[in-house]
Amino acid sequence: MKNIIILGSTGKLGFELKEFLGAKNNIYIDQFISIDKLISLDFITENKISCIINCVGATKKSEYFFHSNFLFTSFLSEKLKAFDLNLSQKLTLIHLSTIGVNAPYMKYNFKKLTIKPIKKQFIKYNSYELSKSCGEYNLIKNLENLKNTKTIILHPSNIIFKKSLFLKKLKIFLTIFPLKISKVRKLPITPIEFLLKSISKIIYSTSKQSLEIKTVYKRERVYDLFKIYSYISFLKIKVPYSLLENLIKTLPEIFFIQQLKRFMIFIFVL
């Protein structure tokens, strides 16, 4: 049994974690205890906290991106760095980021980005990916090579909750989109059950590394996610992969088309 703090416990992911981990662990959440108190040295020491899980983050409302994804993440990492040497036992921070920091819009893979501050780079993030990337950048700089704090950054893909709105949008898109490519596609998704089990495994594992970045997703066939697709796919126009990729690159950068392009990249390219 572990003593665990969950930040962002009122969000969808935080709620699922609280329910999943609460059966076998002592859970402290920011729904009932202030964040200032939860991440204080006194609270962590007195309650023998072994793990903090940071689920704080905004995904929908862009006006919250800066505060939740960047400012709070930077603040949390600065706090933990400040009292690392005074911790009486080892502490693990699990930070929920997104695989989008490594695959910004129009970048067709999940390989880790190498960011060099002194070299000017053009990276086409959307505002959500940018805020998560900046927060993660500060977190890494603050928490790498600490003595008593181990940091694990998780990069899930689209998290699939029960009654997933994303799956509903995906089914609509696949139904009305007239094109398909010849090879069978496996989409990179993160089912909530898969993510919860991965986090639980990390909590009870041991590692000598002070900082790790892990991708957390699995690939599922379109036919498994959308059963009816196999019956309607024969109506689609089959196009070469290269032609579809060029189509994505040439579509204009306006809001509606931008959303269409992201779906096309996710389904046919990543």
177 within domain boundaries? no
Which residue, among 158, 128, 123, 120, has the nearest Cα to 263 in the 3D structure? 158
Assign 237 a pLDDT band (cuts: 50, 70, 90). confident
* CA–CA distance, 198 with 155 (Å, rounded to integer): 12
Domain that holds residue 59: 3-164+188-227
* CA–CA distance, 249 with 251 (Å, rounded to integer): 6
Q: What is the CATH number of the domain that holds 110?
A: 3.40.50.720
138 within domain boundaries? yes
Please compute the mean of the pLDDT values over residues 113-128 and round it to a whole number. Answer: 82
Please report, for residues 59, 68, 181, 191, 261, the alpha-carbon distance to residue 65 in angstroms, rounded to integers and kept in the order given. 7, 6, 35, 23, 22
Assign 213 a pLDDT band (cuts: 50, 70, 90). very high
Q: Which residues of 27-63 are buried (b: 16+ CB within 10 A; e: fewer)?
A: bbbbeeeebeebbeeebbeeeebbbbbbbbbbbeeee
Domain count, the chain: 1
pLDDT(6) > 70: yes
* Interval 57-108: pLDDT, tens: 998 888 999 999 999 999 999 999 999 999 989 999 999 999 988 887 767 7
**How high is the pLDDT of residue 141?**
94
